[in-house]
A and B are shown apart, each in its own frame.
Chain A
Amino acid sequence: MSAFRVHGKGRVNHGRKVGFRFDGTPFEGLEGDTVASALLAHGVHLMGRSFKYHRPRGPVTAGSEEPNALIETRRGIDRSEGRVEPNTRATMAELREGLEAVSQNRWPSLGFDVGAVNDGFHKLLPAGFYYKTFMWPKSFWDKVYEPFIRAAAGLGRSPDAPDPDSYASRYLHTDVLVVGGGPAGLAAARAAAEAGLRVTLVDESSEIGGSLLSEPDVVIDGTPAWDWLAGEVAALAALGVKLMPRTTAIGYYHQNMIGLVERVTDHLAEPDPALPRERLWRVRARQVVLAQGALEKPLIFDGNDRPGVMLAGSAQTYLNRYGVRVGQTAVVVTSHDSAWSAAFDLAAVGTSIAAIVDTRAELREDLLGRAHALGIEVLRGHTVTGTAGRLRVSAITVNPVQSGAVGAGRNIACDCVLMSGGWTPTLHLFSHTQGKLEWDEEGKTFLPFETREDCQIAGAGRGLWGIEAALADGSAMGARAAEALGARVLARSHAVERDRTGSGVAKKELPTLKDLTSTRAFVDFQNDVTAKDLRLAVREGMRSIEHVKRYTTNGMATDQGKMSNINGLIIAADALGKPAPQVGLTTFRPPYTPTSFGALCGYHRGDHFDLTRKTPIDPWAEAQGAVFEPVGQWRRARYFPKPGEDMDTAVARECLTTRSAVGMFDASTLGKIEIVGPDAAAFLERMYTNPWSKLAPDRCRYGLLLGEDGFIRDDGVIARLAQDRFHVTTTTGGAARVLAMMEDYLQTEWPHLKVWLTSVTEQWATIALNGPKARALLEPFVEGLDLTPEAFPHMANGTCTVAGFPARLWRVSFTGELGFEINVPARHGRELWEILWQAGQAHGVCAYGTETMHVLRAEKGYIIVGQDTDGTVTPQDAGLGWAIGKAKPDFVGKRSLSRPDMLVESRKQLVGLLTEDHSKLEEGAQIVLDPSQPIPMKMVGHVTSSYHSQALGRPIALALVEGGFGRMGDLVHVPMEDRTLAARITGTVFLDPAGDRLKM
């Protein structure tokens, strides 16, 4: 069965078989496998097709940097469409019972793919071909090019059902965060924890250990590596270190804020449904130790992407961690010593090493001796000029290179090629900090240099090689982090036997005999970018590495160029004839690895997506079948339909009932600010346009608030409760903004005023009663206040009890009818509402919502800030000049009202509109003076409010029109899609201009 499994080898559980399917075929793997390792154990390398050319591809790595082996998985027990996860890296996907994996980017099958014709036409699809090809003819874009690109583009397939899983998030505060659980990270965590600090250690793998998991033969302080690792992990746990495997540090943000994504359930066959699938951690660390290790680079040669060709270090991981031989006969191609140890490890389990091909002429004697002892042929100073095989490598062509000249080739049969172009530190998180890099000429790579963050880099992440060095450096950096936090600890060192240190050279693409245009030497495997593409980009004038990147898409795939950036840089620098450090590296951006939207949303989806504020009376409205609308963060009842009513009929009934009997309205959402202190009136004088000093303590007044720019910001009724106490109301949506604006002026402009502001929006539930029968309904419940018109006239306020509840009662109206607003403590709102509702039945009461409120106020020409104003409307423009205290020396916005552009007569002014044919206008419709003028017409304003008025038996509208006050009686025109409506300009008060109904 598993022909390539090495019994007894690796950290997988050989006693626990796990069944899964790949492209419908059942397979068996072992507990501890990834999808990639389990398939490789069956000799399956072909796992996907490439993005652009649909070339057959297999895993080239064993980790999160994998560019090729991208598969679609279905999670959970039900494997429903919403649990489809495209672009899962097979090298990271942990095996679990019943896992369903499907290959991507192929049709009809992985073995035979129609899209692979692109590969035959690769000469027609060079770098930048999208920019060049699809420019002409223009008409081809919609019909030909775009459909073709859409069909061919994209990795994987997006699921089209909602994700049924939940996602979570946490904040975490820690003294030291260590990123990476390899030897350097383990040692750093140990040092910091021994200093008594709160330490968190994260690793993206399913197990803590990093490179130690692939190096079982190493002996640390006399203990075999894996025993040492188990002891060390236990010691860290005992020291209180928070150990987080399966957790990827995705981004390094300002001031040591690190984003982590923890994979909670993907590896479980039957997860508890209460568990989130993933959890985003927002970590604030006082010190960060980056111990992310290094990534192996591929060598660039023709056919380096054939399934079976992989990184030597990854082959070693498959063998030592997963107990899988990646092939029967291997050729090792390298420019670095590390690949030699992969060859020796594989040879030890019976894989035939056909040859070790090293690009270097000078080689280490001990390596040569070992190869000789194992009977492995060594070809030094050689290059690779090609590979063969359709869906799997079957042979490799190697050629000697002497004095720069490539000699005759020789074919070597093999079923896998293990390559190594050396190692490059994982710089991504360090780069997120805007940290500076320095070029290491010897290693031909960038190393971290300095960063503004409180951050240490340890081990291979800063170019150190070997486990002993990583342990020592990790311990030193952990101690340094502890010291920076004022803790003292001694760094440790460890004696390591059978450590594998080594060195190598960095290469551009390997020399070849072939015509360069016919070679397919891949640099970026995921985006199918070849060395030839990079050189073409430079030839075509790209000078900056950022331009080369965008023109070729090198490093722009979901792997963020983990394998390709340095190779791309070396080749581009060569083509430009400049040293690499002068060309520089492109920017790494978060996230480090692809991150699900679910993890980023966390709890904020579905009902918890955003806040929905509800009033105490809301449950009653819901029970009555109200239709709601959002207003700011609140949900408000819009209308209360009776059975069979649509909005128009319900609103017409509500309007009629309120004008003829009495209507009840939940006004609890209005913003309320209590302004208290000896300077309360003086403060209001400065904030609002109106005068306040002489307002009596039992009266209300309409207040108008401007910005300093002179434009209307908010309005509302303000009641003076006592000499030093005002109850201010604001618009529903403006409450927080108005309070913030008042606090700003009070704290920073007039700090000497003895006055304090408190939001009481939610302290009070507010019930508005409007209509000719409002007093008759209310009066029997009121104690402590005489409601007769003489004793309690329009704009009076008083304190009393209503149905026994303490109340602030106002006589105000936003409908033009006799009106009262009853403020009671929020806990009593619902009860009072129901009492009044019951009593109101005898008066023919109705409940009305925001839609009816809008109609009733429009009939009276009362504006709604934000609907009839838009941030460019002055009090004069809105016809509210009367609300300005003319004698006041100053108030917020006063100076702006005399700026020259505020005084011109052609400003847009708020007027009424009545259509000639009684059509209802569309809100937002544009207004023109001459409907027969050529298009584009000159627009002179727009409709701000438009309703059918039940009281007038016709539609009415409000509009902002240039010079509107001077056009009373004029006809204007509103062009619509199918016709042009004529409307006459009128005043804004359509009903009861004398206000008699208010005074009842």
Chain B
Amino acid sequence: MTVVPHELVAGVLSETPDLSVSLMPLRGRFSLRLMPEGTDPAGEVLGFRLPTRIGARQAAGSREVVCLGPDEWLVVCDDADRAVIEQGVATLAASVPHALVDLSDRELTVMVSGSRATELLTLGWPRDPQSVAVGTARRTVFDGVTVVIWRDGETQWRLDVWRSFAPHVLDLLLTGCRELAAG
């Protein structure tokens, strides 16, 4: 039995020709909150148009953003880019009421890919995977845990999980890998 690493070190946790599960290295991550009228100026600072449909994504270089709620965005970036984003958004302060909170250490990211990746997610995901189009993402629930699920390709998924929930989520995913490999 694969044991979920207590220390949560990034790397491949399970791999077969049709399915792989990996823990990704930490990236920069911010919660950005603002009123609708702030989306344009904030987008200018960040370098892309902030999407306003829930689940829609935008990317520019190594930065990407997803709209999680009517006034909520999740910004993912390289670690080194964090200070740049913080300074940039800080210039908004006077004109655009907003909140930028660093969450780079709150969550871990699990990558699930391969031709059976979507099937693996059905072990704990009540939602229809087909309702999440390629290139979008959603905050949703997986095995009772709040996660943000990104669909990067037809069979390529990313799950952002709060640090302390990650072992529980990984345990089910790795149990599922063994189950799928058996038949």
Q: Return the contact of B164 from the options A276, A622, A634, A754 (Cβ within 8 A).
A: A634
B180 closest partner in A (C-beta): A274
CB distance from A941 to the nearest CB of B (A): 37
Stretch of B41-49, B56-64, B122-130 on the interface side: B122-130
Confirm or deny: B33 has a beta carbon within 8 angstroms of a beta carbon on chain A. Answer: yes
Q: Return the contact of B105 from the options A169, A603, A825 (Cβ within 8 A).
A: A825
Determine whether the beta carbon of A614 is less than 8 Å from that of B167. yes
Determine whether the beta carbon of A607 is less than 8 Å from that of B105. no
Determine whether the beta carbon of B179 is less than 8 Å from that of A758. no
CB distance from A987 to the nearest CB of B (A): 38
In the bound complex, how far is the Cα of B72 from the Cα of A556, in angstroms?
A: 53
Using A763-B105, A826-B163 as known contacts, say yes or no to A275 and B182 having CB atoms under 8 A apart: yes
Task: Tell me the interface secondary structure of chain A in the complex.
Answer: mixed
The winner among A173, A622, A764 for most chain B CB atoms within 10 A is A173
Determine whether the beta carbon of B101 is less than 8 Å from that of A619. no
Confirm or deny: A422 has a beta carbon within 8 angstroms of a beta carbon on chain B. Answer: no
Task: Tell me the interface secondary structure of chain B in the complex.
Answer: mixed
Determine whether the beta carbon of B106 is less than 8 Å from that of A615. no
The winner among B127, B163, B172, B175 for most chain A CB atoms within 10 A is B163
Confirm or deny: B183 has a beta carbon within 8 angstroms of a beta carbon on chain A. Answer: yes
Using A674-B101, A678-B97, A762-B162 as known contacts, say yes or no to A612 and B122 having CB atoms under 8 A apart: no
List, in ascending order, chain B residues with CB within 8 A of A618's CB.
6
Determine whether the beta carbon of A171 is less than 8 Å from that of B126. yes
List, in ascending order, chain B residues with CB within 8 A of A702's CB.
none
Q: Return the contact of A676 from the options B7, B101, B143, B164 (Cβ within 8 A).
A: B101
Determine whether the beta carbon of B126 is less than 8 Å from that of A676. no
Determine whether the beta carbon of A677 is less than 8 Å from that of B97. yes
Determine whether the beta carbon of B99 is less than 8 Å from that of A758. yes
B175 closest partner in A (C-beta): A603
List, in ascending order, chain A residues with CB within 8 A of B144's CB.
611
CB distance from B31 to the nearest CB of A (A): 5
Confirm or deny: A781 has a beta carbon within 8 angstroms of a beta carbon on chain B. Answer: no
Task: Identify which of residues 118-150 in chain B touch chain A, using a CB-to-CB cut-off of 8 Å.
Answer: 122-130, 143-145
Task: Identify which of residues 163-179 in chain B touch chain A, using a CB-to-CB cut-off of 8 Å.
Answer: 163-165, 167-168, 171-172, 175, 178-179
CB distance from B148 to the nearest CB of A (A): 13
Task: Identify which of residues 605-622 in chain A touch chain B, using a CB-to-CB cut-off of 8 Å.
Answer: 607-608, 611-616, 618-619, 622
Using A168-B179, A616-B163, A677-B97 as known contacts, say yes or no to A827 and B168 having CB atoms under 8 A apart: no
In the bound complex, how far is the Cα of B128 from the Cα of A173, in angstroms?
A: 6
Confirm or deny: B26 has a beta carbon within 8 angstroms of a beta carbon on chain A. Answer: yes
Determine whether the beta carbon of B106 is less than 8 Å from that of A760. yes
A673 closest partner in B (C-beta): B101
In the bound complex, how far is the Cα of B40 from the Cα of A863, in angstroms?
A: 48
Confirm or deny: A282 has a beta carbon within 8 angstroms of a beta carbon on chain B. Answer: yes
Using A276-B179, A603-B175 as known contacts, say yes or no to A676 and B104 having CB atoms under 8 A apart: no
Confirm or deny: A979 has a beta carbon within 8 angstroms of a beta carbon on chain B. Answer: no
Contact with B along A731-761 (1 / 0, CB 8 A): 0000000000000000000000011101111
A608 closest partner in B (C-beta): B171
In the bound complex, how far is the Cα of B68 from the Cα of A783, in angstroms?
A: 37
List, in ascending order, chain A residues with CB within 8 A of B97's CB.
677-678, 754
B7 closest partner in A (C-beta): A619
Task: Identify which of residues 808-837 in chain A touch chain B, using a CB-to-CB cut-off of 8 Å.
Answer: 825-827
Task: Identify which of residues 630-677 in chain A touch chain B, using a CB-to-CB cut-off of 8 Å.
Answer: 634, 674, 676-677
The winner among B35, B99, B106, B181 for most chain A CB atoms within 10 A is B99
Task: Identify which of residues 82-110 in chain B touch chain A, using a CB-to-CB cut-off of 8 Å.
Answer: 97-107
The interface on chain A, measured as residues whose beta carbon lies within 8 A of the other chain's beta carbons, has a size of 44
CB distance from A476 to the nearest CB of B (A): 28
List, in ascending order, chain B residues with CB within 8 A of A676's CB.
33, 99-101
Using A677-B97, A756-B33 as known contacts, say yes or no to A608 and B106 having CB atoms under 8 A apart: no
List, in ascending order, chain B residues with CB within 8 A of A168's CB.
123, 179
Q: Return the contact of B106 from the options A172, A756, A763 (Cβ within 8 A).
A: A763
Determine whether the beta carbon of B31 is less than 8 Å from that of A758. yes
Confirm or deny: A432 has a beta carbon within 8 angstroms of a beta carbon on chain B. Answer: no
Determine whether the beta carbon of B6 is less than 8 Å from that of A619. yes
Determine whether the beta carbon of A272 is less than 8 Å from that of B183. yes
List, in ascending order, chain A residues with CB within 8 A of B104's CB.
763, 825
In the bound complex, how far is the Cα of B107 from the Cα of A760, in angstroms?
A: 10
In the bound complex, how far is the Cα of B35 from the Cα of A827, in angstroms?
A: 32
Confirm or deny: B71 has a beta carbon within 8 angstroms of a beta carbon on chain A. Answer: yes
Confirm or deny: A54 has a beta carbon within 8 angstroms of a beta carbon on chain B. Answer: no
Determine whether the beta carbon of B145 is less than 8 Å from that of A284. no
In the bound complex, how far is the Cα of B168 from the Cα of A611, in angstroms?
A: 6
Chain B contact-residue range equals 35 or more
Determine whether the beta carbon of B168 is less than 8 Å from that of A612. yes
Q: Return the contact of A284 from the options B99, B102, B128 (Cβ within 8 A).
A: B128
The winner among A276, A618, A762 for most chain B CB atoms within 10 A is A762
A613 closest partner in B (C-beta): B164
Determine whether the beta carbon of A274 is less than 8 Å from that of B163. no
List, in ascending order, chain B residues with CB within 8 A of A272's CB.
182-183
Confirm or deny: A143 has a beta carbon within 8 angstroms of a beta carbon on chain B. Answer: no
In the bound complex, how far is the Cα of B127 from the Cα of A272, in angstroms?
A: 29
Determine whether the beta carbon of A613 is less than 8 Å from that of B165. yes
A679 closest partner in B (C-beta): B97
Confirm or deny: A514 has a beta carbon within 8 angstroms of a beta carbon on chain B. Answer: no
Confirm or deny: A170 has a beta carbon within 8 angstroms of a beta carbon on chain B. Answer: yes
In the bound complex, how far is the Cα of B172 from the Cα of A301, in angstroms?
A: 54
Determine whether the beta carbon of A614 is less than 8 Å from that of B123. no
CB distance from B61 to the nearest CB of A (A): 24
In the bound complex, how far is the Cα of B71 from the Cα of A763, in angstroms?
A: 21
CB distance from A961 to the nearest CB of B (A): 39
Determine whether the beta carbon of B182 is less than 8 Å from that of A274. yes
List, in ascending order, chain A residues with CB within 8 A of B175's CB.
166, 603, 608
B178 closest partner in A (C-beta): A274
Determine whether the beta carbon of A172 is less than 8 Å from that of B183. no
CB distance from A389 to the nearest CB of B (A): 47
List, in ascending order, chain B residues with CB within 8 A of A615's CB.
164
Determine whether the beta carbon of A170 is less than 8 Å from that of B168. no
Task: Identify which of residues 748-787 in chain A touch chain B, using a CB-to-CB cut-off of 8 Å.
Answer: 754-756, 758-764
List, in ascending order, chain A residues with CB within 8 A of B162's CB.
762
Determine whether the beta carbon of A826 is less than 8 Å from that of B105. yes
In the bound complex, how far is the Cα of B172 from the Cα of A760, in angstroms?
A: 25
List, in ascending order, chain B residues with CB within 8 A of A827's CB.
26, 105
Contact with B along A138-178 (1 / 0, CB 8 A): 00000000000000000000000000001011111100000
List, in ascending order, chain B residues with CB within 8 A of A173's CB.
128-130
List, in ascending order, chain A residues with CB within 8 A of B181's CB.
274
A828 closest partner in B (C-beta): B105
List, in ascending order, chain B residues with CB within 8 A of A759's CB.
106
List, in ascending order, chain B residues with CB within 8 A of A603's CB.
123-124, 143, 172, 175
CB distance from A144 to the nearest CB of B (A): 48
List, in ascending order, chain B residues with CB within 8 A of A274's CB.
178-179, 181-182
In the bound complex, how far is the Cα of B107 from the Cα of A761, in angstroms?
A: 11
Determine whether the beta carbon of B183 is less than 8 Å from that of A762. no
Q: Return the contact of A762 from the options B123, B127, B163 (Cβ within 8 A).
A: B163
Q: Return the contact of A764 from the options B105, B107, B165 (Cβ within 8 A).
A: B105
In the bound complex, how far is the Cα of B128 from the Cα of A764, in angstroms?
A: 34
In the bound complex, how far is the Cα of B11 from the Cα of A873, in angstroms?
A: 50
Contact with B along A277-303 (1 / 0, CB 8 A): 000001010000000000000000000
CB distance from A752 to the nearest CB of B (A): 11
List, in ascending order, chain B residues with CB within 8 A of A763's CB.
102-106
Determine whether the beta carbon of B123 is less than 8 Å from that of A170. yes
Using A756-B99, A758-B101, A762-B106 as known contacts, say yes or no to A282 and B126 having CB atoms under 8 A apart: yes
Q: A264-B183, A612-B167, A754-B35 provided; 7 other pairs, C-beta below 8 A? A: A276-B179, A614-B167, A676-B99, A756-B71, A759-B106, A762-B106, A762-B107
CB-CB nearest 7 A-B residue pairs: A676-B99, A613-B164, A274-B182, A756-B33, A756-B99, A173-B128, A826-B105
Would you give 25 A-B contacts (Cβ < 8 Å), ordered by A? A166-B175, A169-B123, A170-B123, A171-B127, A173-B129, A274-B178, A275-B179, A284-B128, A603-B123, A608-B172, A612-B167, A613-B164, A619-B7, A676-B100, A677-B33, A677-B97, A754-B97, A756-B31, A758-B101, A758-B103, A760-B103, A763-B103, A763-B104, A763-B105, A763-B106
